[in-house]
Amino acid sequence: MKREIEVKIELTPQEFKNFTGNKGAFAFEKTYGYFKNDFSNIKEGIFPRIKYIEGKKKEVFLTVKRKSGENTQYFEREEMEVKVYEKGNLDTLRELVKSLGFNKELIFEKRRKSVFKNDITICFDKLPFGFFVELEGEPKKIEQYLKEYNLSKKPRIVKAYRHLWEDYRKSHGIAEENCMFK
């Protein structure tokens, strides 16, 4: 189990292009998030998911994230993750999680480019509803790179993309629960 500490910053399309330029390809990620029918696991702070990554190689991960408290500066959770080596197991894995009582499956897609530096991971994410950079690491490193990239004055986002999608859907009158590229 690891402690995950991160901050997201929304970028304009031009800022996103300036940061990412021609620095390698984006990997396509499809996340299957699981919820109890009454969404009570949100209040409990338990978030199981399956993540399928289609990049240089195809990878599948089973992850459970647990909320570890409220923080206005950083999004912080405990993360337990296991890599599943065969893509063929994806459908079985989806049914396995549902059989544990997490019957509500919501699908979330993004294109991600990850940069790994000095004890920090910087992810540039293109989502169906916007562009973001996510910095994950120790607070000191996050602050260092926010300053280096001139992002320290931009509003911090300290919640999951799933919650950002819910806010976006409500403000734009979108009924579709899944967040997918068309």
Dist CA 51 CA 83 (whole Å): 9
Let me know if 112 is exposed, middle or buried by CB neighbors in 10 A (0-12, 13-18, 19+): middle
- pLDDT digit string, tens, across residues 89-108: 788 889 999 999 999 999 99
Is residue 121 predicted with pLDDT exceeding 70?
yes
- CB 149, CB 19: distance < 8 Å: yes
Strand partners, 169: none
pLDDT for res 105: 96
Is residue 132 predicted with pLDDT exceeding 90?
yes
- CB 149, CB 60: distance < 8 Å: no
- pLDDT digit string, tens, across residues 12-57: 999 999 999 866 689 999 999 999 999 999 888 899 999 999 877 7
pLDDT for res 86: 62
19 Cβ contact partners less than 8 Å away, ≥ 6 residues apart: 11, 124, 133, 149
